[in-house]
Amino acid sequence: MATDTASTSVARTVALTRVRRNRVFAVSLVVIAIILPLIPPFNGQDYQRYLVAAALMAAMATAFDFTAGYIDIVNFGFAAFVGVGAYTAGLMAVDFGISPWIGLFVGAAVSGFVGLLTGMLVLRLRGIYAAVITWFVGLALMGLARNMTQITRGSLGLNVPLLLDSSDNLPYYYIILGMLFVTLGVLMFVIRSRLGLAFRAIGQNLQAARASGINPTRFLVVNFTLSCAFAGWLGGFYAHYYGILTPDIMLTSHTVEILAVAYIGGRGTLWGPAIVAFPLTIGVELMRTQLSALPGLHLVLYGLLLIVVMIYRPGGVAGAIRGVGHWLDRRQEARLDREARLEETAEPTV
């Protein structure tokens, strides 16, 4: 019937528009991220420091969301895995003179390996048990870092050579931005693959997934390991950018920060946390410098935002953006439907 073909073509048009719109959205975000540090006020050294921190947070939140948003496991010791990568990279450089660039990847490998071990042991357990045990593992790792002072220098701090010789923040920004794009790219690719389908199936209904022949534990471990490997890789950058490491990098409150960014951004989207990390981190850094008399205020705000998101907007910012997209889609659909119907009444043939 005419109306049917008309409605399917409407649907197709809307879908094509949506795809194009998403592409434009993504590309413009990438462009903005690239040119941002060249625009005032972001071209000041202070702001460029914030941008580096923001991009780093964006990448970490993305890696965190890969586990929390897709296989429904909250890695509550995430900051410790970042720390493992950081210390590995740092110690490689300090004790063995290995180039920081290689150290990044060694850090990723070691962190991934620790993640693999943790995953194998812990992921058999149910959600909340797994979350709490990863928390314990994180605390244990932090304890090791604190107490093995002959290796890590503990709370005195480990001085680490920087990635680049210049003290200019701009090149660091582009490096971490590149790392962010790689993280996003790889993880999104995995999510769209059959591996990702398995992740989502397991995350949503463990029993059904098992019944479909998927061995959940293996997939859980792969996901967890990958997430920890990226954490370690980013930890390596942290070490070679900030130049000094203390065990405090592994504090649970840092995991909660990353977690907050991930959930406020939109759990299970990967890009939501990445986008939201920028305004949040820059805002936090501004707060830290302007309101230094009020320490920890930014954490209070993170906590409040997290709670508000959990209760009132579980989809986070990404959910809101998606909502806008749907609204645009429906508006276009309604318009095209009207046009199609007008055409029909004008030409009652077919």
Partner 1 sequence: MTTATNLRKVPLARRFMTFTWGVIGIVIVTLVVFAFVQPSILVDTLVTGGMWALMAGGLALVFGVMNIPNFAHGELFMIGSFVAFLVFSPIQKAILGDPTATALQVVGPIPGMIIAALVGFLVGVILELLLFQPLRKRNREGWVMNSFLLTAGLSVILINGYRLLFGNDYHGFPRYWDVHPLSFFGVSVSVDRAMVFVIAMSMILLFSVFLQRTRTGRAMRAVAQDETGAQMAGINLNRIFMLTLGLSSGLAALAGAALLSIYPSSPDVGLQPLYLAWYVVILAGLGNVPGAIAGAFIVSLLQTLSVYYVGLGWVDVLPTAIIILILLFKPSGLFGSEVKGVWEQ
Site of interaction with partner 1 (CB under 8 A): 72, 74, 76, 121-122, 124-129, 131-133, 135-137, 139-140, 142-144, 147-148, 206, 253, 256, 259-260, 263, 294-297, 299-300, 302-304, 306-307, 310-312, 314
Least CB distance from residue 179 to partner 1, whole Å? Answer: 27
* Cβ-based neighbours of 82, under 8 Å, separated by 6 or more: 60, 111, 231, 232, 234, 235, 238, 249, 250, 254
Q: What are phi and psi of 158, to 5 degrees?
A: -110, 125
> With respect to partner 1, which residue has the nearer C-beta, 294 or 334?
294
Structure tokens belonging to residue 214: 């998927």
CB of 88 to partner 1, least distance (A): 18
The phi, psi pair for 99, rounded to 5°, reads -60, 140
If the CB atoms of residues 144 and 195 are measured against partner 1, the closer one turns out to be: 144
**Considering beta carbons, is residue 100 or 203 the nearer one to partner 1?**
203
Count of alpha carbons within 13 Å of 151, Cβ hemisphere only? 13
Nearer to partner 1, 8 or 204 (CB): 204
Which helix H or strand E contains 204, and what residues bound it?
helix 194-204
Q: How far is the CB of 303 from partner 1 (least distance, A)?
A: 4
Query: CA 12, CA 49: separation in Å to the nearest integer?
Result: 45
Q: Residue 120 or residue 340: which is nearer to partner 1 going by CB? A: 120
CA angle 291, 253, 187 (to 5 degrees): 110
Nearer to partner 1, 260 or 318 (CB): 260
Minimum gap (Å) between residue 321 Cβ and partner 1: 20
Closer residue to partner 1, CB minimum distance, 34 or 256? 256
Report in angstroms how near the CB of residue 20 gets to partner 1 at its nearest: 33
Query: To the nearest whole angstrom, how small is the minimum distance from the Cβ of residue 29 to partner 1?
Result: 27
CB 90 within 8 A of CB 160: yes
Please state the φ and ψ torsions of residue 56, each to the nearest 5 degrees. Answer: -60, -45
Question: How many Å is the Cα radius of gyration of the chain?
Answer: 23
Least distance to partner 1 from the beta carbon of 12, Å? 33
CA–CA separation, 207 and 86 (whole Å): 37
